[in-house]
Homo-oligomer: A and B are copies of this chain.
Amino acid sequence: MLGSRTMLKTGLVHDEMRRHNLGTLLRHVHLGGPVSRAVLADRMGLNRSTIMALTAELTSAGLVREEIPKDSGKVGRPSLVIRPESDRIHVLAFDVAVDRLVAARVGLGGTVLDRRDAVRPRTGVDLDHVVGILAELARQMCREARPDSVCVGVGASYCGMIRPADGMVRFGPDLGWVDQAFGVELGRRLGLGLPVSVGNEAHLGALAEFERGAGVGVQNLIYLHGDVGVGGGIIVAGKLLDGDGGYGCEVGHMLVNPYEGRPCGCGSRGCLEAEVGERALLDAANRPPELAGRDAVRAVVEAAGHGDVAASDALRKIGDWLGIGVANLINLFNPGMVIFGGMLREVYLGSAAQVRQRMAANVLAVSRERVQLQVSALGDDATLIGAAELAFSQVLADPLQAFSRVVSVGV
């Protein structure tokens, strides 16, 4: 995540320009797939000889290759396309979610090469245990990888507040973690000599939807992620909003009902997540307290669809609060899109009318003009894909430097 911060004060020299151009070309290939030099020249605003030189560098580093497209659909000699070395160059991505642990090997270009799940109990899981499971899943995948495979980065999504600099979990209420050195410990246990980039799950869900999901091309978007609570990831002018310490986007603790609100896990009452979270919906629908989790939420939405009055009333109530949260966010961010992910995907689909009603009442007209509401395109994989993209972002910031510290894991 380079960018404006750096750009404001420092000058540019040739090496930085080259690094920027190499990273930009690789990003086009990584996100857009195989592409000809001519198209790249056009998209990047550079001439063809510059594109050729950049491609040659990336090819000799083993990050891309040039080849004849399988089926160009055109008559005559087809143009070569530049293609990411997806089978060989990969990252490891992990997802520590409320109800599961996932590990994946994801190739340059975004192909999921391998993926392993483990169920995790909702409580009583310590750092050592979680990191042990993830490292074992990674070892299994690496053993079965192609012998010439090269791991260029590691990213992890975690359901809590993360210090980006070192992947410290500052506050992870679902696992009961406070100040646990997750990133460092996972890096140590993997033993690949690579740093581990860790991000909050909703932040990474936003990143994934922005780069590969419902929000491609939308420079300002809000991703809302529901599980037990409500998280948010917000893209502002093409960059994830992280704030001073990396703890921004905490939409779940926006106070919307200060005096009559439901108690919230944070100790306050009337936070958005207290009003629209899993428990709020299940309680409103008179479901027994022992019911919990995604399936229970789905069951309420389905019951409402079949005419269950308690379920319909519950969805209307929750949808109104969700609409208030969404309206506040649209007034603040004037986004092009709001994306509902995790459990909120189902909740939104069951209460879209209430959400839109609140928007009509509470969003200023000029900010309502063009905003779209969408459900997550990546579904449950959004956070894992976001973790992979976080790992790749290091490579894209400086492709040759990143490649020089790669680790071959297949031998």
A residues adjacent to B (C-beta < 8 A): 3-5, 7-14, 17, 20-21, 24-25, 27-28, 43-46, 50, 161, 170-171, 219-220, 232, 234, 236-239, 241-251, 253-260, 266-268, 271, 324, 327-328, 331-336, 361-362, 364-367, 369-371
Contacts and interface: CB of A to CB of B under 8 A. Distances in A.
A10 B45 contact: yes
Number of copies: 2
Contacts of A10: 24, 43-45
B3 A27 contact: no
A326 to B, nearest CB: 11
Give the 7 A-B CB pairs with smallest separation, nearest first.
Answer: A243-B334, A248-B334, A11-B44, A250-B331, A11-B46, A3-B4, A247-B334
Nearest to A257: B258
A12 B5 contact: no
17 contacts: A3-B237, A4-B4, A8-B24, A12-B21, A13-B46, A13-B50, A14-B17, A17-B17, A161-B364, A220-B243, A220-B248, A243-B333, A244-B370, A244-B371, A248-B333, A253-B331, A258-B324
Contacts of A266: 362, 364
Contact of A161 (B43, B50, B254, B366): B366
Contact of A45 (B11, B20, B232, B250): B11
Given A3-B237, A171-B365, A248-B367, 7 more contacts: A4-B239, A9-B24, A10-B44, A171-B366, A244-B334, A244-B371, A254-B331
A249 B258 CA distance: 22
